[in-house]
């Protein structure tokens, strides 16, 4: 197993989670702003819970990716201890 690929996968997952958090938070902010259109459509109102679910999923992905980074860092330390 290549430790660098595990570390890279963790970083990539963290970047994806961050971009998903930004996108979901932006959708939530846009939907909660008062609009000039008084009759908000049902689809806009339904989009807030969907965005909140995506936000939670991104949080979980970020935590998992951070754990992958931590574990790969620990493995590098363990391998260095063994080989030195």
**pLDDT value of position 32:** 79
Higher pLDDT, 53 or 35: 53
**pLDDT value of position 40:** 54
Please determine, for residue 84, whether its predicted confidence score (pLDDT) is greater than 60. no
**CB neighbour list of residue 72: distance below 8 Å, 6 or more residues apart:** 3, 6, 7, 10
**CB neighbour list of residue 23: distance below 8 Å, 6 or more residues apart:** 54
Kindly indicate the confidence band of residue 35, based on its pLDDT and cuts at 50, 70 and 90: low
Residue ranges per domain, the chain?
Answer: 3-29+46-83
Integer Cα distance of 54 and 19 in angstroms: 11
**pLDDT value of position 73:** 85
Residue 75 in tokens: 């493995």
Q: What average pLDDT score do residues 52-64 get?
A: 96
The SS3 assignment for 5 reads: helix
What are the tens digits of pLDDT across the range 2-28? 657 888 999 999 999 999 999 999 999
């Amino acid at each position: 197993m290549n430790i660098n690929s595990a570390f890279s996968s963790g970083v990539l997952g963290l970047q994806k989670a961050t971009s998903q958090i930004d996108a979901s938070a932006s959708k939530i902010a846009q939907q909660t702003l008062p609009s000039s259109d008084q009759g908000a459509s049902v689809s806009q109102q339904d989009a807030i819970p969907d965005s909140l679910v995506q936000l939670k999923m991104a949080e979980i992905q970020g935590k998992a990716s951070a754990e992958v980074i931590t574990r790969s860092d620990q493995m590098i330390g363990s391998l260095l201890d063994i080989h030195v």
